[in-house]
Structure 1
Amino acid sequence: MKLVKNQEGFTLIEILLSIAILSIIFISLMNIFPQMIQFNSINETKTQAINTSRQILNDWQNKSEIIDYLSAPSTSELPSELIEQDSHYSAEINIDKYIAIITIAKESDLATSIANAHQIHVQILDNKGTLFGESFGYIVVEE
């Protein structure tokens, strides 16, 4: 019988070892996918909340009844949406699955002979009270 000394190929142990290593790598990678899906969902919710806060901010910056009231608060009637606090006015609006809290400063941050600028802060919370997005801006009231 003739012995062949130069056999090419893999042994059974080498094949099983490579399958085991590849399985460990594959299982590790599979654990990452559910986390990525969860992070994407959270980021999508935050993006929607930020866009909603910007839309509300834009709407409130252009509300004529708010601008009229801020231009002459002593002679105008407080708009029905607003609640008067010590240093600010506030409002709470339910939008789909969010709660929008709007805060408008009573005192102007910028007072000139031409205009006053009242800071407005819009926060978007979920039903549990978790902050998902917020926007800041100014309501410009011309004198």
Structure 2
Amino acid sequence: MENIKNEQGVTLIEVITSISILSIVLISFISIFPQMGFMNKNTEDKTQAISTAKEILILWQDSLDVKSYLTSSTQTSVITSDDPNLVFIKNEGGYYYFETVKDIYRVNIKIANSPNTNSSKIYKLHSIQIELFNNRNNLVGETYGFIKR
């Protein structure tokens, strides 16, 4: 009982020390939040880009213009499209290269101009690669697929 009566409370040095330790811990936790926000924004942008790339892939896989272009023997004409931004870049190294704009992305499309030798006997498959770049010209999303003709 005497020990309890002799206790005189917390000293000023103890209070300052505990506040300093608590401040250091809180500051380290607070510095994490902006980084988490930045990572969430990057993940959101990447998810949107991948979704847009998949949408473009589906449009190109279902396009009759693309299929007729790939089956033509000369393949000198450019794919006709309602998209005024679609530009035929080159036919080089066994691939056709196209460029267009979709939403906020610059889109590069690369299609193999000859079917893979491992393709099914029933369908001839052309590989297609779609890359999306942001306004700073950084790759933000890409997808791959096949176009059957």
TM-score range, shorter chain: 0.7 to 0.9
In the alignment, which of 95, 109, 113 is matched to residue 102 of structure 1?
109
Displacement of 1:56 after TM fit?
0.5
Cα RMSD for the two superposed structures: 2.1
Render the CA deviation track for 1:59-82: whole Å, top value 9, x for unaligned.
101101111221233378431444
Structure 1, unmatched stretches of 5+, are none
Is the 1:68–1:76 Cα contact (8 Å) retained in structure 2? Answer: no
Tell me the TM-score normalised to structure 2 length.
0.82
Identity over aligned pairs, percent: 37
Q: What residue number does 2:83 align with?
A: none
Q: What residue number does 1:36 align with?
A: 36
Partner Cα separation in structure 2 for residue 108 and residue 33 of structure 1 = 50
Displacement of 1:84 after TM fit?
4.1
Render the CA deviation track for 1:75-117: whole Å, top value 9, x for unaligned.
7843144444122112111122210111111011144442100
Partner Cα separation in structure 1 for residue 35 and residue 99 of structure 2 = 34
In the alignment, which of 134, 137, 140 is matched to residue 126 of structure 1?
134
Residues 8-47 of structure 1: matches in 2 within 5 Å? 9-47=9-47
Q: What residue number does 2:148 align with?
A: 140
Moved over 3 A (4+): 75-78, 80-84, 110-113
Tell me the TM-score normalised to structure 1 length.
0.85
| Alignment: residue pair count | 138
Query: Which secondary structure state, in structure 1, belongs to the residue aligned with residue 109 of structure 2?
Result: strand
